[in-house]
Structure formats: structure tokens, C-alpha cells
Structure 1
Amino acid sequence: MTVFDPNGDRVGKVRDVLVALRVDTAPPRALGLIVEVVARRRIFVPMGRVTGVDANSVMLSSGTLNLKRFEQRVGETLVLGELLDRSVTINESGRAATVVDAAIEQTRTGDWVLSRLAVSEPGRLGRRGQLRQLAWDEVSGLALPQTGQSAETLIATYRELNAADVAHALQELPIKRRHEVAEAMGDERLADVLGELPEAEQIVILGTLEEGRAADVLEEMDPDDAADLLAELSNVDRDRLLELMEPDEAEPVRQLLKYSEDTAGGIMTSEPVILSHDATIAEALARVRAPEITPALASQVYVCRPPSATPTGRYLGLAHIQRLLREPPSTLVSGALDDLEPLRPEAPLAEVTRYFATYNLVAAPVVDAQGRLVGAVSVDDVLDHLLPEDWRERARRG
């Protein structure tokens, strides 16, 4: 089938459909189309870009495409390339059959699913058998196995979940399986998931990793999360892991470990968005667009004298992004500063909570006695310390 962009220009030809099989009888979700463009290059087009399908063509919502050559990942299945000619069992009769075609359709929620299969039953004396159309759940043999599933495949089924949901899913697995999945995850993904697990679970999983790998994962964690985790370890284990970390990654964590965990210094992050006194509003807005910055930390930028890494030079003030959005991009951030009194690192949690409530904030600066910015507290850090220690476990149990 030919693929067209919104202007009616030809993009290429559909060569296959990529789906994600599931472990139960639910129809697989169609992830996207494999489209062949110029020079026989095959690219991936997400199903969310498809606005219409008829008997001869596919229409896309945008003419902008990612021309990176398609590379299939673990847990992804090509309908034409891998499902056709697969043997299945018809549930009603128990007879064997062969898949000869498949149908995808759009649900009321807008998702596309592989809803039906055309299967051929073997005929007698070598003759072609009966051709039947069946719903996906009327056959068996194609879903992901409930047992013997590789960790890579399971990780692939978690790919689109956020870290908190993956953490919930991990806790439902047997301990051995949980550790296998953690071992197979990439460092960055595992770091995000660890930050959403109860501390006891974090310690257990970290302890199953080889020390060098554990240090790599700690480097990928937010400094405050890494400090919280290391604070629960013995002094010997903590010092050994800090030594294995890259010095520039370990230093912010060491600084945070100096503060009591129930103070502003103990719950802050040492990596807020920091700008120099001559930075423009355009620069500030560009900085907070970075995907790794949380929404809470992206709500404010902090202006300081050099150096710009914590602990900084003299703290000059903070600017709210909402305020900056109303100002010309070429003007200086320092002209739109709020003179809000910052928190001190030793401020107890009760004082931090009152501070947030008084000024209706989602993030706040932390400045030491020398007038240097040492970090920022975000509202999620405050909530994490106000809730009971086992709040994640309670949420998992409903």
C-alpha cells in the first residue's frame, strides 16, 4: 500500500506492521508501520501518525519522518515477516492450523490492534484445507509464554510504562525473576526504576549487581536519590561504591550525605537549573526544555555568580518560568528575579513544608551561610519524606 503525507505526496510503501505480543489473550497492539522509502530504506512510522487507511493507501498526519533505518527490538514482532505461516491451535476444535493473513483495526480509544487472523486448516490427501477467519482469542500459540520468558522480552513489554509503574510491576514478580529483570535493564532505566522502589527493595537489588555495575547505576540516579540509597548502606559498602563512581558524579552525592535526612539539605537535589547573571530569558527557556529535568525543577531557574555548579558563587535570586514567559526573550533573567528568602540547609522538614505552603511553590532554593546555592528542594521530595516510609508498598497493595 502506498503511504501519503498530508499534502498528498507519496512517502513510500508499507512493507509490514510491527506489533507487541502479550502474555494473555488480549489482541496485540500495533506499534507502527514499516515503510520502504527511497533507496529501499525501511523506516518505522508510529501508528499514532496514521490518520486514515483505505483499500489502496495510508494517510499520515505529518510529512516529517524519522529516516533512521528500522531496527527491530526485543519484544517486537513483524506481522508479515514472523506471524504468517506460524502454527496455531483453534481453541474450539483443538485442531491445528496455519496463519495465512491478519487484520488490524482501530479501537474506540484510538489504538490499533491485531484483532483477527485468517487460518488454514490442513486438508485431506494434501489438498488445501478450509480457510477460516477467527478472532485473536479464538486461537492459541502466538501469545508470549507465561513461563520461560526471557528477561529481555519482559523488559520490552515494560518499555512504554513510566518508571513508577515498572517498579510496581517488578514487585509483583518472584524475587529471582525480579533480579533477572534488573540485571538485564539498561543502567539509566534501572536507575529510574530504583528511585521508585521502597528503600529496602533498592538495597536488595543493588546488592545483587556486580560492584562496578552498581556504581554505574548510581551515577545515572539523581544525586539526591543516590544519596538516600547510599545512606542506608554500611559505611564500608558506601565508601567502596563512591570510590568506584566517577569523581564528578560522586562529589555531589558526597555533599548531600553530609546533611541530616530530615532537613532541607538532606532532601534537596544538587542539580537545579543554574544560570549566570548575564543569561537571557531565551537561554533560560532553552535550559528548562531538557527532557531530563523534572517539571518541578523546571518551574524555576536560579541565578548565581560563577561557578555555576553547586556550591555556586554568590546566590542572586530565582526566576519563575511563568514570569519569564511574559517577558521578551532577549532580556536578562536577572531583571526578573524574585527576592524570596531561600531555605537554609539545616532547615527541618516542618519548616520546609510551611515554606512551600506559604509561598505556593513546587521548588525552592537552598543557600548556605556563605550565600552559595547548594541545591533545590522540589515538592516531590517533600511529599516523599512526609508520607509513611512504606507508602510505595501500600500503594502497590491498593
Structure 2
Amino acid sequence: MSTRDVRVLEGPEKLRMLLERGNGELAAFLREQHPVDLADMVEELPDDLLVAVFERLGPEQSALVLGELDREARARIVRLLGKERVGDIVEAMDTDDAADLLGELSPEQAGQILGELQAEEAAEVRELLHYEPDTAGGIMTTEYVAVNQGMTAQEAIEHLRQRAPDAETVYYVYVVDDDEHLLGVLSLRDLIVAPPETPLKHIMRTKVVSVFHDQDQEEVARIVSRYDLLAVPVIDHQRRLLGVVTVDDVIDVLEEEATEDALRAAAVSPGEEGGDLRGGVWRLARPRLPWLLALLFMEFLAGSVIDRFRGGFDGVTLALLSVFIPIMAGEAGNGATQALAVVVRGLATGEIAEREVLAVVWREARVGLLAGLITGVVLFGVTTLWKGDLRLGLVVGLALALNLPVAKMLGGLFPIVIHRLGIDPAVASGPFITTVTDFTSMLTYFTVAALLLTQLG
């Protein structure tokens, strides 16, 4: 392929061609790439070409690319590059990203790489590794700017010039006392416009939004979103400043939590996003089987309801009633899932407070009652015209009118109950609540049919 042909290639194809040819354009091509794009390009490279890419990248660019790769790709690169090269890359990473990477490795591997770091850097990473990964401490960085309350604006600016190159973010400057207790916060604008000799205590804001090191990462993300922050300080329970959580880490948390909730809502275990098409079938099926088996036995309850009532109807009537079983079960399941989605989101965003529990359940019941009346009337009319049977139309219409408020109430109540028990409401999955409403809808449907057909028959 000619040099001109190489130029028309894009992305992974061009990178592979330049690597195989050892073309002089390779270094320039790598420098021009955004870390996210370069991460996408290198993931599918064979081992030899992958090593060749990282041999040509500096530690800083390697650190950025490594931070954009998934867990399996990072583990592969660590294995291929060796502890010395990985140590250089980790040393160039932000401390929170370095801790995340080492936390994914075996203790032996992590210890070897820590041994390659400078003592101060290694100590900071070890400190972060002590925190639970899904907490504020687990996602914070210790690379921030703090100034002493006794400084003036000019002294703070001079301190900022010295510290800024090592900080992950300098949008906020935190004010602490001699014992590192968080006292206030300043913006860069506050420092720049203040007269040079102004004491910081006269210009700092003392009401600082902060989080504790053991707060759940989802709560941290909610606070950053609520107050539109670029970073939030992390403190211990004595209000000593430990680090900051930056908005880029919050975005990662939101994506992770949203993915996890979506998978759980479908009764699928987190970690089964399906991006790896080469994964074994058994590996994917195994975590799903417990859910499927549990739901299978729960569905027997709905079947037992039908079996319990079938002796009370003749064959023709039972056949007619069976035609509308999918409608009863489907509408109830859909109604419950709608309520479930609304309530789970409200709990996740903090829009539903503890004192509002009964109001929420009552609201969903009223929504279900209104929806049930309308859909019940429609079903009554359609069934009567379709089958020419007023009694059958009355049975299915009334059953649906009763089923929807019950389903809506269950869909609203269930996540609230398990939230009260300290369980993530996302585990109130759609398949689970649908299975529950299959039982309640069949019980309601055949009870109404038995009562009305007996009375009117």
C-alpha cells in the first residue's frame, strides 16, 4: 500500500497499518489522538502490536489511555508491559485512577507495582486503597489545592502557583486550619479580584457542601448534581479534609449506577452488559438462572389460581375466559412496571422523602383506578361487540378495572418497602413485580368471573 493509501485510512485501520510498516508518521498520529479514541483503537490489537503502541506513548499519554480502557483490557496491558513500565504509567496517573487500577489487580501484582512508585506517591495510593471502592473515599483524589486560613489572597495565589501543576482540579481552593479541618472554600475568581493583603477568612465561603469519606458514591453523585459542583470535598467525621471527588468521576459513577440499575430491573446481574461477544454462554447464563428458576416457581402460583377455579366453569366458558388471560396479566404487569419505574427514580434522585411514602402509594393507586376505569370500559365494549356476550364483557371489563389499581399500588409499594429495609430498590426488578402481578391479576380475574357468572348465570 502506498503512502497516499495509508493517509486515506482512518482510526484502527490506519494505526494497524502504521504499526506494521513502522512508518515515521506513527508518532505524530499517536500524539494527535484523543485518549478515548486511542483506547478504542488499541483494545482489539494483538499482543505484539498493543505493546508496540504503549512503547511509543509517553507515561502521561499512556496513563490517559489506560484510564479509558475497560477492566479486562487494563489487566491484559499490565500483564504484557511488566511491573517497571506499568509503574512509570501509574506514577503519571491521578491518584484516584491509580488506586482504581491497582484495586483491580491481585494483591501480589498491586504490591509489585507499588514498589516501583516513589515513596510519597505509593503512600497516597495505599491510603486510597483502604477505602471501600463504592464510597466517596474510594473515588476521591488526594490531588487538590488547600490553603491555610492565616494566608492573605496574595499568599494563596503564590501557593496556588506552586501546587496547581500537581492538582487534578484548581477550580476550587479549600481553606483549612493547622490540623487540616475544612473551614471554607474559595473560587479562583474570589482570589483574583480580592485585594492582595485581604485575609482569606474575609473572602472565603464558610458554608461548604461536602461529603463524608464513607458516603455511598451514588449519594455523592446526587449531591454534585444537585448543587452543580465541579468538585466536592471529602472529609472525615472530624471534618478533616481528605480529598475531593471531581465531576468526571461523578459522570463515571452515574453511568455505572444507571447501568447497574437497568440490569437489575431486568433481573440480570451487573457485569453482564454483553459487550464481550466472545464470552462463554455458561458464564452469562449462570448468574441469570437463579432469577429465572425463582420466577418459574412463582409463576406456578398464578397457574394454581387458574387450576383452582377451572372446576367451576364448563369447558366453553373456560375457553372464553382463557382468551383474555394475556390481557389481564399483561396490563397488570405493564401498570406495575410503570409505577415501579417512577418510584425507583424518585428514590434514587431523592425526590421521594420518607414522609411521602403513603402519599406516593395512594397516588399510584388513584392513577391505577382512573386508568383501570377507562381501559375496563374499552375492554367491556370491545369484548361485547367481538364475542356478542354482555356477561363476558362485564367480567373482563370489571376485572381489568380492579387489576390496574392493585398492580399500580404494588409497583409503588414494593420498592419503598425494600428501600426501608436498606436494600437497593433497583432489585425490585420488572420481571419480579410482573410475576407477582400475574398471580394477583389471575386471582382477581377468576374471582370476578366466578362471582358474576354465578350470579348472572
**TM-score (norm: length of structure 1):** 0.56
Aligned length: 251
Question: Are residue 24 (structure 1) and residue 3 (structure 2) matched?
Answer: no
Q: Quick check: which one's strand share is greater?
A: 1
Unaligned runs of 5+ in 2: 10-15, 260-270, 276-457
The match for 1:342 among 206, 210, 230 is 210
Give the letter for the 2:116 counterpart: L
The match for 2:190 among 312, 323, 331 is 323
Aligned-CA RMSD value: 3.2
Distance 1:246 1:342 in 2: 30
Residue deviations 1:317-376, cap 9 Å, x none? Answer: 221224334433442333222221421000112221221123221101111123321100
Distance 2:95 2:25 in 1: 30
Question: Are residue 204 (structure 1) and residue 71 (structure 2) matched?
Answer: no
- Do the aligned residues in 2 keep the contact of 1:198 with 1:393 (CA within 8 Å)? no
Question: Are residue 182 (structure 1) and residue 48 (structure 2) matched?
Answer: no
Distance 2:241 2:89 in 1: 27
* 2:194 aligned counterpart, secondary structure: coil
* 1:189 aligned counterpart, secondary structure: helix
* 1:244 aligned counterpart, secondary structure: coil
Question: Are residue 382 (structure 1) and residue 250 (structure 2) matched?
Answer: yes
Question: Are residue 158 (structure 1) and residue 30 (structure 2) matched?
Answer: yes
- Do the aligned residues in 2 keep the contact of 1:269 with 1:376 (CA within 8 Å)? yes
Give the 3 Å change call, closer, same or farther, for CA 146–256 of structure 1 in structure 2.
Answer: closer
Give the 3 Å change call, closer, same or farther, for CA 157–351 of structure 1 in structure 2.
Answer: same
* 1:24 aligned counterpart, secondary structure: helix
Give the 3 Å change call, closer, same or farther, for CA 199–334 of structure 1 in structure 2.
Answer: farther
Distance 1:283 1:159 in 2: 37
Distance 1:251 1:368 in 2: 18
Matches within 5 A, 1:54-69: none
**TM-score (norm: length of structure 2):** 0.49
Shift of 1:147: 6.3
Give the 3 Å change call, closer, same or farther, for CA 273–157 of structure 1 in structure 2.
Answer: same
- Do the aligned residues in 2 keep the contact of 1:151 with 1:184 (CA within 8 Å)? no
Unaligned runs of 5+ in 1: 1-20, 28-143, 307-311
- Do the aligned residues in 2 keep the contact of 1:272 with 1:375 (CA within 8 Å)? yes
Percent of pairs with identical residues? 36
Shift of 1:274: 1.6
Give the 3 Å change call, closer, same or farther, for CA 259–145 of structure 1 in structure 2.
Answer: closer
Give the letter for the 1:236 counterpart: E
The match for 1:361 among 229, 234, 237 is 229
Give the 3 Å change call, closer, same or farther, for CA 251–341 of structure 1 in structure 2.
Answer: same
The aligned residue for residue 304 of structure 1 is: 176
The match for 2:39 among 167, 179, 188 is 167
Give the 3 Å change call, closer, same or farther, for CA 232–261 of structure 1 in structure 2.
Answer: same
Give the 3 Å change call, closer, same or farther, for CA 171–333 of structure 1 in structure 2.
Answer: farther
Give the 3 Å change call, closer, same or farther, for CA 172–391 of structure 1 in structure 2.
Answer: farther
Give the 3 Å change call, closer, same or farther, for CA 24–392 of structure 1 in structure 2.
Answer: farther
Matches within 5 A, 1:209-248: 209-248=81-120
Question: Are residue 191 (structure 1) and residue 59 (structure 2) matched?
Answer: no
Give the 3 Å change call, closer, same or farther, for CA 258–322 of structure 1 in structure 2.
Answer: same
